[in-house]
Amino acid sequence: MIRKAKAALCREHNKPVVVEEIAVDAPKRGEVTVKLGACGVCHSDLSAINGTIALPLPLVLGHEGAGVVEEVGEGVSDLAKGDHVVFSFIYMCGKCRFCVAGRPVLCLEQGRALTTPLEGTPRTRDAAGAPLNIFSGCGAMAEYATVSAENLIKIDPKIPLECAALVGCAVTTGVGAVFNTAKVQPGASVAVFGCGGVGLSVIQGARIAGAERIIAIDTLEPKLEMARRFGATDVLLFADDVVKPLKKLTGGGPDYAFECVGSGELAATAYRAIRRGGLAVVVGVAKPSESTAVRTMTLPFEEKTLTGSYFGSCVPRVDFPRMLSLYLAGRLQLAELITRRYAIEEAPQAFVDLQSGKNARGVVVFQ
Ligand SMILES: NC(=O)c1ccc[n+]([C@@H]2O[C@H](COP(=O)([O-])OP(=O)(O)OC[C@H]3O[C@@H](n4cnc5c(N)ncnc54)[C@H](O)[C@@H]3O)[C@@H](O)[C@H]2O)c1
Ligand SMILES: [Zn+2]
Ligand SMILES: [Zn+2]
């Protein structure tokens, strides 16, 4: 059965998002159609709109989604109609050496299910019948989405879908960067550059990991107030000489610094800020033209590390339930991350608000 769905699309770079009624095909073999409950508005969607993340247009946006299984295709045995699921924006083949080694974010087959389900042909078309690509195997900013079953993780149905959706990107990216990539130790000092949905999740992760000092840095004052609510012990309004106050606050530099903005220059700043033997983690996605320079000598003499974290180095089937159990135990705040809810028709406004830094997270909620 073909389903009609209102969806947020990017048709042209640097132009406002458009909301159109699209057609979503029934699932083929190994695929599932989901009726969306909620979809978070992530900076990576904005990066697809401005071309930083190069995905072919026209594109159905959205990758931070959660919903209810509507129909399963042939051969799908682990999901059934009525199951609640969170989207995972990485495709995991389960067979390549990275998947087998427990690092599915590096799956060698990822490129195959990037803009369509794995089979390679689109399930989404516009009113004129022209095919539409989907963002990172998801296209979840739509009333319905048909995706590969591997892109869906079953969750406990008692979790509100708008909270579960955040686990599909910001929360797993941020908390995972702390738990899995950096393995932050209790008592540590942590600096976080950028307090959007991702940075605030790093702050929460650091708090849960037992960090003693959590210093939030942003260009916007209201973001610093939000950061305090999620566990920041100190805040700094971003300035060119931010390294100096960071070194002073921590007596030589934080043990860890997380770049959650997407700037090559800021990644270098994060690296400069950390102490001897410290670890700087780049989570933000910078433009392809940007690069990061470090003083080479500091690598041997100070044993500093600069690394990256993709989707919190997560294993979705392990980490999504882990995040959600922290939520159910009252240790991870999810509802509190949602500053504003939008109807799908308001998706263009949601992106305007993301760009101006109004929200911790904006979430599109579906009827
Ligand atoms: N690595 C991954 O897997 C992954 C996953 C999701 C998002 N991302 C990336 O993470 C970044 C953050 O995403 P988000 O959704 O939280 O974005 P966001 O737009 O909600 O938040 C970014 C924050 O950075 C602040 N900021 C801007 N310039 C700054 C500066 N110079 N110093 C300090 N703060 C500054 C903004 O005011 C804003 O609060 C983006 O680049 C996004 O593409 C990466
Ligand atoms: Zn995202
Ligand atoms: Zn793989």
3-state secondary structure labels for all residues of the chain: CCEEEEEEEECCCCCCCEEEEEEECCCCCCEEEEEEEEEECCHHHHHHHHCCCCCCCCEECCCEEEEEEEEECCCCCCCCCCCEEEECCCCCCCCCHHHHCCCHHHCCCHHHHCCCCCCCCCCEECCCCCEEEEHHHCCCCECEEEEEHHHEEEECCCCCHHHHHHHCCHHHHHHHHHHHHHCCCCCCEEEEECCCHHHHHHHHHHHHHCCCEEEEEECCHHHHHHHHHHCCCEEEECCCCCHHHHHHHHCCCCCEEEECCCCHHHHHHHHHHCCCCCEEEECCCCCCCCCCCCCCCHHHHHCCEEEECCHHHCCHHHHHHHHHHHHHCCCCCCHHHEEEEECHHHHHHHHHHHHCCCCCEEEEECC
Which residue has the CA at smallest separation from atom 43 of ligand 1?
44
Strand pairing of 256-259 and 279-282?
parallel
Ligand 1 atom with the shortest distance to the CA of 198: 16
Ligand 1 atom with the shortest distance to the CA of 52: 43
Average pLDDT over residues 52-64: 97
Please give the distance, rounded to the nearest whole angstrom, from the Cα atom of residue 44 to the centre of ligand 2.
5
Tell me which of 126 and 113 has the higher pLDDT: 126
Ligand nearest to the CA of 181: 1
Ligand nearest to the CA of 354: 1
Confidence band (pLDDT; 50, 70, 90) for 110? confident
* pLDDT for the residue numbered 144: 98
Residues 6+ positions from 59 with CB-CB distance below 8 Å: 9, 10, 48, 115, 132, 133, 134, 135, 139
Confidence band (pLDDT; 50, 70, 90) for 348? very high
Judge if the beta carbon of residue 352 lies within 6 A of ligand 1: no
**pLDDT(111) > 90:** no
pLDDT digits (tens, 9 = 90+) for 135-186: 999 999 999 999 999 999 999 999 999 999 999 999 999 999 999 999 999 9
Ligand 1 atom with the shortest distance to the CA of 361: 20
Work out the burial of residue 93: count CB atoms within 10 Å of its CB; fewer than 13 is exposed, 13-18 middle, 19 or more buried: middle
Judge if the beta carbon of residue 235 lies within 6 A of ligand 1: no
Judge if the beta carbon of residue 281 lies within 6 A of ligand 1: no
Please give the distance, rounded to the nearest whole angstrom, from the Cα atom of residue 265 to the centre of ligand 3.
32
The preferred substitution site among 39, 41, 44 for testing ligand 1, maximizing ligand atoms within 8 Å of CB, is 44
- Tokens encoding 215: 């210093």
Other beta carbons less than 10 A from residue 230's beta carbon: 25
Please give the distance, rounded to the nearest whole angstrom, from the Cα atom of residue 109 to the centre of ligand 3.
5
- Tokens encoding 54: 């190069």
pLDDT digits (tens, 9 = 90+) for 271-284: 999 999 999 999 99
* pLDDT for the residue numbered 163: 98
pTM above 0.95, yes or no: yes
